[in-house]
Amino acid sequence: MSFNRRDFLKLTGLGAVSAVAARAAAAFPFFGGAPGAVKAETNAKTAKRWAMVVDLTKCKENCTDCIDACHTTHNVPDFGDDKRHEVKWIWKEPYKQSFPDQENEFLKDDLSERRVLVFCNHCQNPPCTRVCPTRATWKRPEDGIVMMDWHRCIGCRYCMAACPYGSRSFNWLDPRPHIKTITPDYPTRTRGVVEKCNFCDSRLAQGQMPACVEACKDRALIFGDLEAPDSPVRQILRERFSIRRKPELGTQPQVYYVV
Amino acid sequence: MHDGGKIMGGLAVFFALLLFPVWNNLAQGKADYRPNPQILPKGNCVESREYMLSSHMDLLNTWRDQVVRQDKRIYVSTLDGKEHLMSLSKTCLGCHTNKAEFCDQCHTYMNVAPYCWDCHVDPQANK
């Protein structure tokens, strides 16, 4: 067996590289993480599949209590009449635009002329999460909430193109100067990030109902677990006729409208 | 070699200008500046002082991912088994109330600019 100059150089080179790599790995523990254990909050509200029922027979058209509560809780900016920069979590849309698949030419006046409360449908088959290249948005397997990780959003807006309901908004500008009163407990967003309704996941984790549901004096918003037969949402869906937005697309919205 | 004096003189001026920040700081007595973060509370942090000094960014990354992506919001300290809410603006700033005199001290000195505060709100600055 011969050990020539070439082998010697290879071995010393390899040795030097691995020594440097070991030092570098020790100096920069990128995958360090925290030493302690983590767990969920004990008083959190949980469900197998969260869903909302909007009772349009109770929802007052000119009332904005739920919208105001949501926007205050989540630091949603207000750009006034500037539709190019509008950020929407929960808003009102004319009936015919909310339900373009309802093809009846003539309808009850109070329906066809009214505006309907709309927000993220937290679809069972969400097209937005499928297209996200960074997994900044995903459907929580535990309770079906379509979540967003604003830390990870790169602002490509694929999800906005994929959402058939226009439920997602992009921050074209720094939102902070356009927030009337900042709620310090909740983060604002930054320029270049997409945002939407998240069914108040952080309020649910603290055992509270969503801000819009709590704010509605007319009890027109009913929130609960679709998988629990006795839940308030299942009860009202058993008793009343309901429709959903664009069901023909197969997205399976988890927001039902009692008309 | 008739221009030796000019070359040396020119070099001296060049290096004097190049090293201006160094000798200026030395002359003003700022060369031994150390950041002095104000650690207000007397008790324990969520982990040991040494760990927090070297690895608070790793801890915060874990907190962020666990809260946002796993819906786990309680952290159990290895120090004393105490449970803490994993929240930057509530738990961290709840004790270290002055961001400018705590976070910013070292971050400015080290010239790191974490973008936490682009979104998370410093309750003090808001008042």
Task: State pLDDT tens for residues B6-58.
Answer: 999 999 999 999 999 989 988 888 778 888 888 777 788 999 988 998 999 99
Any idea how long chain A is? 259
pLDDT at position A29: 52
Contact assessment for residue A206 and residue B86, using Cβ atoms and an 8 Å cutoff? no
Identify the H or E element spanning A13: helix A5-27
Alpha-carbon Rg for chain B in angstroms: 23
- Among A41-55, A104-118, B35-49, top mean pLDDT goes to A41-55
CA distance A133 to A156: 9
Could you report the per-residue pLDDT of B73-97, keeping only the tens digit for each? 999 999 889 999 999 988 998 888 8
pLDDT at position A102: 86
State whether the Cα torsion B15-B18-B22-B23 is positive or negative: positive
Task: Identify the weakest region by mean pLDDT among A35-44, A93-102, A222-231, B28-37.
Answer: B28-37
pLDDT at position A45: 94
pLDDT at position A200: 97
Dig out the tokens for A167 from the structure: 């439920």
Task: Read off the pLDDT band of A2 (50, 70, 90).
Answer: confident
Q: Is A204's pLDDT higher than 80?
A: yes
Contact assessment for residue A257 and residue A243, using Cβ atoms and an 8 Å cutoff? yes
- Which residues does residue A50 pair with via DSSP β-bridges, in sequence order? A225
Contacts A186 to B, Cβ<8 Å? 121
pLDDT at position A27: 60
Contact assessment for residue A59 and residue A117, using Cβ atoms and an 8 Å cutoff? yes
CA distance B12 to A252: 76
Find the CB nearest A41 among B63, B74, B122.
Answer: B74
Q: Is B1's pLDDT higher than 80?
A: no
Dig out the tokens for A7 from the structure: 């082998």
- Which residues does residue A117 pair with via DSSP β-bridges, in sequence order? A92
Contacts A150 to B, Cβ<8 Å? 119
CA distance B35 to B102: 10
Q: If you search the block for the tokens 């031994």, which residue do you land on?
A: B32
Dig out the tokens for A117 from the structure: 């409360």
Dig out the tokens for A139 from the structure: 């459907």
Task: Calculate what percentage of chain A has a pLDDT beyond 90.
Answer: 79
- Asked if the Cβ–Cβ distance from A205 to B73 is below 8 Å, we say yes
Contact assessment for residue A36 and residue B76, using Cβ atoms and an 8 Å cutoff? yes
- Asked if the Cβ–Cβ distance from B68 to A149 is below 8 Å, we say yes
Contacts A140 to B, Cβ<8 Å? 71
The residues of B whose Cβ lies within 8 A of any Cβ of A are 46-47, 51, 55, 58-59, 61-64, 66, 68-78, 86, 89-90, 115, 118-123, 126
- Asked if the Cβ–Cβ distance from B66 to A38 is below 8 Å, we say yes
Residue A94: CB atoms within 10 A of its CB come to 12
Strand order in the sheet with A221-225: A221-225, A50-55, A255-258, A242-243
The SS3 call for residue A189 is coil
Contact assessment for residue A90 and residue A70, using Cβ atoms and an 8 Å cutoff? yes
All residues at 6 or more sequence positions from A67 whose CB lies less than 8 Å from its CB, including other chains: A90, A91, A92, A212
A142 or A104: which carries more pLDDT confidence?
A142
A30 or B48: which carries more pLDDT confidence?
B48
Could you report the per-residue pLDDT of B92-111, keeping only the tens digit for each? 988 888 888 899 999 999 99
Dig out the tokens for A180 from the structure: 């009337």
pLDDT at position A1: 62
Query: Looking at chain A, which residue has its C-alpha nearest residue B48?
Result: A35
Size of interface A-B (CB pairs under 8 A): 77
Q: Provide the mean pLDDT of chain A.
A: 93
